[in-house]
Structure 1
């Protein structure tokens, strides 16, 4: 069943339950209200009749005349004498008088509903006058008359409920259709994403939480498209980076096998083959490390690291390359800075960034640590603006780059540490890499 149908059925059932309960409560309350109103009307009629008696029929002969007067009224009533416990006159058949006397209704002032046979009556009792406290006027109305009014009122109420239910269901259909339509359109866009038709993905007009879901789906499609393109570029670059040294190795190996090279060329070829094998090993190891960083969280073991200690390790390991490139490395570290990261992998990330800076520097590289930021800057030629957004992508390298994976590994390590790495052109003239890591307390 579609979502719109489910919502409509759920709303309709809920509405019917509410109306049923409301109808039952109203039906029960109507009769009580009608009884109270009828008793009030009987009291008013009785008071008027008592006033007539008091004004015009004060003597015993007047009582007889008043009885005649009551007989002429279109009312169901009794004139009851308390002292004699007898009915002086009645406008109702004798069978009702006998039944009421048998149930002792006349003497019992607490009973409001009198029953005779299968009929019930609403009653009202009024004393004729203070001088005649033993005389009482009792007016009655059959309960069936009130029940007829109750049923008539309830039938009208059912018609109102029915019209209201139809209107509410139609309104529910329109509202749920407006609600579900964006979801249906969103489903079509998800199908396009499933088929990798990213260029055909369209925005869906929606509001509220559905708009947030739509935005998330659109962002997901954009990210998937970027990821697919980056994966394609990765495999293309990886195949190129692996194919070049393999072709070199293959060429020299075949030449040595076929005896094409003399001894000097053979030695040179073997040396080049060893160099290319080492390069292949480096590329493969870095690709494996990237894959582990992307997929295996268990390989990451965070611990507290003092910034001064890890920067000392970086400078010690960078010394041979500094001497080879004739570059000076200076560093300034805030002794209070402490990070929470995998020390081995963070060291690898910092070495990758530092080696990259040394290879591109003219004469100077600077490392600065302030609170939670590590800044590594060089005085090289800097990074072109159009190249800067791709600097951390895999197999993207500059003129002096090696595998093109070092900065990608650095970014993966920093992001897995809960930090961030960015790059800009530095005041020294070259590039400035800024690594921001969270405080150790925030990650405990």
Structure 2
């Protein structure tokens, strides 16, 4: 039914403990309130009947207690909570001496404690006395108005009778709690299962994710925090599945990109070694080997650099950086590449602003963006910087054919490159650096034609 030390068992035990404790507290409160109620009701009845009895005796002083004993016993019979409670009486003189009693001859001649008669005559809130071995709830009224004028009548009822009523009612109350307790046990089990079942599903989901088994959604829709946790785990599963797909694709692309120059290098090196290439052909083979070695080196360096950017060990040297210096340095580095391709590279007016940034890495960002633009431009590449609110926007725009829909969808994937693309790592590197600076980067087609990439960086310092 419940797993040992499981959360369902703990919830069930907790609920039952609360229910049992609540039942015990209710029973205790019921006992106290019932005790007060029974004694209060008994005193009120006794005090009221004593008043009526005194009025009757004052109106007919010629009638004594003895002549009216049977009538008084009928008069002092009470019905309380389905039980018959027999009352008793005492006739007391002004000195507190018991002259006559319905209890028995042993009560006659007893003297009440000093001041007790006054308390019993004060009202329904006072009065308990002990006669012999019996305890009584009592109320008194003076004959003739005061004790000195005619003594008093004291009416009593045994406390033992009230205690019996309390015990019977308490037993009934405890028995009545048994059925709710059984019902609470069933409800507790259902509630515990309702809570533990989604947790079991979340555990199963976590185990599947640990085995890289993605795709199964947790069917948890409880509408509470557990449901929100299930949605979060489902979202995490989707992200991990996408990350896993991207990683697999990355390794496939990396293998392909590295295999191509390695095969060229191996083929031409073996040809030179075996004497297949001689003279001019051998020189050409060596040029291919050098070129492909350089391309292989660049790919490996960019892979290492991208890996460092995404690791916690990579250190960014943030300092006060002037954006105009960053962009001017970038233009100077890329000017040779632009002239070689007969591309006009222009830098617009730069605002006089400073950033809290790693200037060297920002130079790397814009070198990658401008190199990509020069590679696809027909004749012109422009770089514009402007301040908008609390951000700096740098736009790199070319007049080339622009991005295709597939380009815009996959532009930031590693090793993705268009028809004239490079290694496919420049833009992912740029994005990683910009995001580490708290900025954003986006790509789109310009309204005037060509492609544009916009870098947004915050102006606030550290």
TM-score by length of 2: 0.87
Q: Is the aligned partner of 1:189 residue 2:189? A: no
**Contact map agreement 1:392 1:407 (CA 8 A) in 2:** yes
User: What's 1:394 paired with?
Assistant: 414
Deviations 1:307-364 (A, max 9, x none): 2232222222221112112222333456254433322222212211121111111122
Instruction: State the SS of the aligned residue for 1:295.
Output: coil
Aligned-pair distance for 1:108?
6.4
Distance in 1, Cα, partners of 2:222 & 2:203: 13
Instruction: State the SS of the aligned residue for 2:378.
Output: coil
Distance in 1, Cα, partners of 2:354 & 2:182: 68
User: What's 1:252 paired with?
Assistant: 268
Distance in 2, Cα, partners of 1:346 & 1:95: 112
Instruction: State the SS of the aligned residue for 2:458.
Output: coil
- How do 1:125-204 residues align onto structure 2 when only pairs under 5 Å count? 125-130=140-145, 133-201=149-217, 203-204=219-220
Q: Is the aligned partner of 1:92 residue 2:95? A: no
Distance in 1, Cα, partners of 2:103 & 2:91: 11
**Contact map agreement 1:337 1:370 (CA 8 A) in 2:** no
Deviations 1:88-116 (A, max 9, x none): 21111344557x63755755637722234
- How do 1:14-413 residues align onto structure 2 when only pairs under 5 Å count? 14-55=18-59, 57-58=60-61, 61-62=62-63, 65-70=64-69, 72-74=71-73, 75-82=87-94, 84-96=95-107, 101=111, 106=116, 109=119, 112-116=127-131, 118-130=133-145, 133-201=149-217, 203-332=219-348, 335=351, 337-371=353-387, 372=391, 373-413=393-433
Aligned-pair distance for 1:299?
1.8
**Contact map agreement 2:218 2:230 (CA 8 A) in 1:** no
Instruction: State the SS of the aligned residue for 1:296.
Output: coil
Distance in 2, Cα, partners of 1:239 & 1:418: 32
Distance in 2, Cα, partners of 1:360 & 1:105: 115
Instruction: State the SS of the aligned residue for 2:412.
Output: coil
**Contact map agreement 1:81 1:88 (CA 8 A) in 2:** yes
**Contact map agreement 1:113 1:121 (CA 8 A) in 2:** yes
Instruction: State the SS of the aligned residue for 2:251.
Output: helix
The RMSD of aligned alpha carbons is 2.4
Distance in 1, Cα, partners of 2:364 & 2:108: 110
Aligned-pair distance for 1:131?
6.5
Deviations 1:405-435 (A, max 9, x none): 1011111112222222221111231221122
Aligned residues: 435
Aligned-pair distance for 1:395?
0.6
Aligned-pair distance for 1:178?
2.9
Q: When you count helix as a share of all residues, which structure comes out higher?
A: 1
Distance in 2, Cα, partners of 1:105 & 1:78: 16
Distance in 1, Cα, partners of 2:417 & 2:434: 19
Distance in 1, Cα, partners of 2:132 & 2:322: 100
Distance in 1, Cα, partners of 2:101 & 2:55: 19
Distance in 2, Cα, partners of 1:301 & 1:117: 98
**Contact map agreement 2:101 2:107 (CA 8 A) in 1:** no
Deviates most, 196-205 or 405-414: 196-205
**Contact map agreement 2:8 2:196 (CA 8 A) in 1:** yes
Deviates most, 191-200 or 245-254: 191-200
**Contact map agreement 2:99 2:108 (CA 8 A) in 1:** no
Consecutive unaligned residues of structure 1, counting only runs of 5 or more, are none
TM-score by length of 1: 0.90
State which of 443, 446, 450 in structure 2 corresponds to 1:430.
450
Distance in 2, Cα, partners of 1:174 & 1:195: 32
Instruction: State the SS of the aligned residue for 2:310.
Output: helix
Instruction: Give the 3 Å change call, closer, same or farther, for CA 293–68 of structure 1 in structure 2.
Output: farther
Aligned-pair distance for 1:257?
1.9
